[in-house]
Amino acid sequence: MRLLVTGAAGFLGSHLCDRLLALGHTVVGMDNLITGAPANLAHLEHHRGLQFVRHDVSTFIDVPGPVDGILHFASPASPIDYLEYPIPTLKVGALGTHNALGLAKAKGARFLLASTSEVYGDPLVHPQPESYWGNVNPVGPRGVYDEAKRFAEAMTMAYHRYHRLDTRIVRIFNTYGPRMRPRDGRVVSNFIVQALKGEPLTVYGDGSQTRSFCYVDDLIEGIVRLFERGDADPTNIGNPREFTVRQLADRVLALTGSRSPIVERPLPVDDPKVRQPDITRAKRLLGWEPQVPLEEGLRRTIAYFRDLVGR
């Protein structure tokens, strides 16, 4: 198949390109590089199956030739990124998704939307099944991301229902692994880089808030299965093993052998107190569940950051 990946130079987009190329597809990778990095695709520079196009998908997308599938991953996705780029975040979720859906309709392509556990906001139901509608503050600082993705889901379902487009929605929970940026701002990359540099690990609040961390290879496997044989209803993909942020800090210190102290910093506004995917649907529909335990995934990620920061 010939597939378009938007956000191809991002953390997830680049891993997705790797997997799709390994499956024998040809890929058009698109990115405006505001948070993506060309280095993430550098190893594919001479791969004949990949064509890279620098373009902002919030403006009209032109892809000459056939397109069999579109995997729409373009968006700032780290809290510090969407706070720095609030309007591009809203635009790519809304206009970018509309353009990508329009292209899918014109080409008769299958469409997959990268959505997020942020659609559940600060959840009042735990763990979160897809049937939960969420608890989102539309006017808070995170609203630019949460509401853009909620709009993107609504738009995707409208194209599915009204235009009979073949669509998928994946709700991605916290994911980590090689190619996260060292200053990405997310908790796993922050803690690892801080530990390797001997700097204090910055726990926001008292660190009792929870997240459930999925290793990137597991996530990509789930997404590819969803794309190949899923259906239109939203599907959670994530690792249901839940940790407090403080437990994560302790694991990172133990695995790096770092003697960094842990310091507390103010909790960001509207920071969800708990998060854990209910993956019953993904198990049943796709026969998928994560394989890589946190310790193993952290080891691989620490090795990546050791090379990068030279410690």
Catalytic residues: 145
Least distance between ligand UDP and beta carbon 238 (Å): 11
Q: Which long-range contacts (CB under 8 A, 24 or more apart) does 16-20 make?
A: 16/71, 16/73, 16/220, 16/223, 16/224, 17/41, 17/44, 17/50, 18/44, 19/220, 19/221, 19/224, 20/71, 20/224
CB 122 within 8 A of CB 132: no
Tell me which residue has tokens 């090379």.
307
Least distance between ligand UDP and beta carbon 145 (Å): 9
C-alpha 248, offset from chain centre: 19
Least distance between ligand UDP and beta carbon 194 (Å): 8
Rounded CA gap, 162 and 169, in Å?
Answer: 16
Rounded CA gap, 167 and 162, in Å?
Answer: 12
160 vs 275 by CB, closer to ligand UDP: 275
Least distance between ligand UDP and beta carbon 185 (Å): 6
Give helix 294-309 / helix 187-197 axis angle, nearest 10°. 60
232 vs 267 by CB, closer to ligand UDP: 267
134 vs 185 by CB, closer to ligand UDP: 185
Least distance between ligand UDP and beta carbon 142 (Å): 8
Least distance between ligand UDP and beta carbon 165 (Å): 29
Give helix 97-107 / helix 143-163 axis angle, nearest 10°. 20
Q: Between the CA atoms of 63, 65, 66 and 69, what dihedral angle is there, to the nearest 10 degrees?
A: -20
CB 209 within 8 A of CB 273: yes
Rounded CA gap, 221 and 235, in Å?
Answer: 13
- Strand boundaries in 50-196, DSSP class E: 50-54, 69-72, 110-116, 167-172, 175-176
- Judged by the rule CB under 6 A, the positions of this chain that interact with ligand UDP are 79, 174, 185-187, 190, 202-204, 209, 211, 245, 267-268, 271
32 vs 116 by CB, closer to ligand UDP: 116
* SS3 at position 104: helix
271 vs 289 by CB, closer to ligand UDP: 271
Structure tokens at 292: 């890589």
88 vs 272 by CB, closer to ligand UDP: 272
